[in-house]
Structure 1
Amino acid sequence: MIIRPIAESDAENFLKLSKKIDASGFMLYEPGERDTTVDEQQKSIGRILTEKNTAFFAAEADNKLVGFIAAFGGKVNRNKHSAYLVLGILEEYQGQGIATKLFLRIFEWAKEAGITRLELTVIKDNIKAFQLYRKMGFVIEGEKVNSLMIDGKPVNEYYLYKLV
């Protein structure tokens, strides 16, 4: 298993990965909701790769993408020290240390980039992810009540942060 920067040439495989991870029900997109084309995904990756304070790493195993972590940094002076994280791992590859390796890589990147605050959100019912984030040093900052609607029901999210 390797952790590497994502490339525009990964667009098709990343899109397939995202759709599989969306099927978990724990991501922002509902299962089947993502309608991004490969061309749109390629342009999105290209745009992300040019943004300052932003990083995007893929986990590759068995000759395919199995996970990712992206950090979207602030764009103005008052928040350019912080970055919002998005993480996804295929269910069949969870519990193998891949997420931990992705986090360690993003922590390394943050230090190199001068990012001192990382933040993320997690659906309150996503216990596995919540436990992982706590293990990686993230602290609950608050709870956003009724932040999402899942299957017609309001769901809360935890907001977490880590200072690096």
Structure 2
Amino acid sequence: MRIERICPNEAEALYNCMKKIDQETQYMLYLPDERSFDKAKLIEDIKRHFYIGVKTENDEILGYLSVHISTLAKVKHFGYIMTGLINDLHQQGLATQMFNETIKWAERKGLRRLELTVITSNKPAVNFYEKLGFKIEGIKHESVYMDNHYFDELYMAMMLNHDFIYHSENI
């Protein structure tokens, strides 16, 4: 297994990974049958944002982490993280490696913060994010509806580049 950037020509492999993760866990935003494949759109997304993945020797993608950054001047200092990993690969340090590489990338880019949301009942994920240094900033009450119930999400963030002076040309 290796951790490396996902390239636009790997859009289909990324989609297959996302689809599999959607089927394995209830904690992804998409239900198993909701995600559709628009190759051109996914290629554009990979080109525009940061994507890193867990790849096999055969270039199959088994996990991913993406950081989406706005083009709006007032909010392009932070990135919003979405991530997923095939169940069989949990507890092997791969997610930690993806996050560590992402944090280094974000610091080099001059980002001030990384953000994510996680359903409050997903205690292993909450603990993992806290271990990495993410802090809980608030609760999004009843923001997810699944299994005939509403669930709260935690809004979490990690501050970066505390000594970095922000200039829009750094992004």
TM-score, normalised on structure 2? 0.87
Q: SS at 1:27's partner residue?
A: coil
Task: Report the counterpart of residue 169 of structure 2 in structure 1.
Answer: none
Matches within 5 A, 1:19-98: 19-23=19-23, 24-34=25-35, 36-37=36-37, 40=38, 42-51=39-48, 54-61=49-56, 63=58, 64-98=60-94
Q: In angstroms, what is the RMSD of aligned CA positions? A: 1.3
Q: What amino acid sits opposite 2:135 in the alignment?
A: V
Give the conservation status (yes or no) of the 8 Å contact 1:81–1:116. Answer: yes
Matches within 5 A, 1:91-110: 91-110=87-106
Say whether residues 1:141 and 2:115 are aligned partners.
no
Report if aligned partners of 2:64, 2:83 keep a CA contact under 8 Å in 1.
Answer: yes
How far 1:86 moved relative to its partner? 0.4
* Stretches of 4+ aligned residues off by more than 3 angstroms: none
The worse-fitting range, judged by mean Cα deviation, of 141-150 and 70-79 is 70-79
Distance in 2 of aligned mates of 1:105 and 1:12: 23
Q: Which deviations, in whole Å up to 9, do the C-alpha atoms of 1:50-77 show, x marking residues without a partner?
A: 42xx311111135321100000012212
- Deviation per CA, 1:7-52: give whole Å up to 9, x if none: 2222222112111111201010012221x22xx1x3233212442x
Gaps of at least 5 residues in structure 1 are none
Structure 2 CA distance for aligned equivalents of residues 161 and 8 of structure 1: 28
Helix, strand or coil: the match of 1:148?
Answer: strand
SS at 2:26 equivalent: coil
Structure 1 CA distance for aligned equivalents of residues 27 and 121 of structure 2 = 9
Cα distance in 2 for residues equivalent to 1:150 and 1:142: 21
Equivalent residues of 2:9, 2:43 under 8 A apart: no
Q: Counterparts of 1:49 and 1:28 in 2: how far apart (Å)?
A: 19
Deviation by residue 1:76-108 (Cα, 9 ceiling, x = unmatched): 121111000001000000100010000011101
The count of aligned residue pairs is 158
Q: Aligned letter for 1:122?
A: V
Distance 1:89 1:68 in 2: 6
